[in-house]
Structure 1
Amino acid sequence: MTFRQNISSGSAFEELIGYSRAVVTGDWVFVSGTTGYDYKTGEISADVAEQADQTMTNIAAALKDAGASVSDVVRVHYILPDRDDFPKTWPVLKKWFGDVRPAATMVQSGLMKEEMKIEIEVTARTGCGGNTQ
């Protein structure tokens, strides 16, 4: 029997809207679209690269709670309102994913709040980190 575990970051939106930061089922981990808010302070940087880094910090925490890590990520979606901001995030994304090299898609779309400059969603499979050919 496959189990299901819901992971919460404590964000008020999760309770308000009715979703989980991440869901674990079997060896798969699905992390919801995540933005660059610092969950401890409730603040978000105006800089897209700093938002990307904080977003990845938030995602790494969710993955850890799910028994996974960034090295287990196999798929990533980037959503940005301004496509010209994407290259500004590349050094940060390479820092997090340079050795992992997941399949990736970038989509230009509006986000829920004006101050949000990037949202990242990942899918991971536990136990496959570092096993590349």
Structure 2
Amino acid sequence: MQQRKKVSSGAPWEDIVGYSRAIQVGNTIEIAGTTAKGNDEYEQTHAIIKIAEKSLHELGADLSHVIRTRIYCTNIANWEKIGKAHGEFFRTVKPVSTMVEVSKLINPDILVEIEFSAVL
């Protein structure tokens, strides 16, 4: 069995719900449940990617290792704001990406949530 490396978000919900910010098994890293506060989708997306980048660094990786992003948003009409922030980080990496609208996220102030898959 391969060893798991976990990265904590530090949120009290991790122990209550039973999750980690990121997990590495072998050369695969999965990051989920990543949200951020901000005035709009652009600010939130930018902050989310910075949070993921920090988790990747803790596991010896960086954004160039990301192969997939899954973006959940509460208003798909604002996809360009999300796309602009995503493109600022991934313009040359170009991971596969999915963006879908969901009816709501865990907090009404949260407009965007992103999952990341990376391979070392």
TM-score, normalised via structure 1 length: 0.85
Q: Residues 73-102 of structure 1: CA distance to partner in whole angstroms, max 9, x if unpaired?
A: 001100001101211122211111111100
The aligned counterpart of 1:81 is 74
Q: Residues 6-32 of structure 1: CA distance to partner in whole angstroms, max 9, x if unpaired?
A: 111212221221100000000000001
Q: What is the CA–CA distance in structure 1 between the aligned matches of 2:91 and 2:15, rounded to whole Å?
A: 34
1:86-125 correspondence runs (5 A): 86-109=79-102, 110-125=104-119
Alignment of 1:61 onto 2:18: no
Give the superposed CA RMSD.
1.0
In structure 1, runs of 5+ residues without a counterpart are 37-43, 127-133
1:32-71 correspondence runs (5 A): 32-36=32-36, 44-71=37-64
The aligned counterpart of 1:27 is 27
The letter of the residue matching 2:107 is K
Q: What is the CA–CA distance in structure 1 between the aligned matches of 2:83 and 2:73, rounded to whole Å?
A: 13
Q: What is the CA–CA distance in structure 1 between the aligned matches of 2:60 and 2:13, rounded to whole Å?
A: 23
Structure 1 segments of 4 or more deviating over 6 A?
Answer: none
In structure 2, runs of 5+ residues without a counterpart are none
Matched residue count: 119
Q: What is the CA–CA distance in structure 2 between the aligned matches of 1:82 and 1:11, rounded to whole Å?
A: 26
Query: Percent of pairs identical after alignment?
Result: 30
SS at match of 1:113: coil
SS at match of 2:13: helix
Q: What is the CA–CA distance in structure 2 between the aligned matches of 1:33 and 1:99, rounded to whole Å?
A: 24
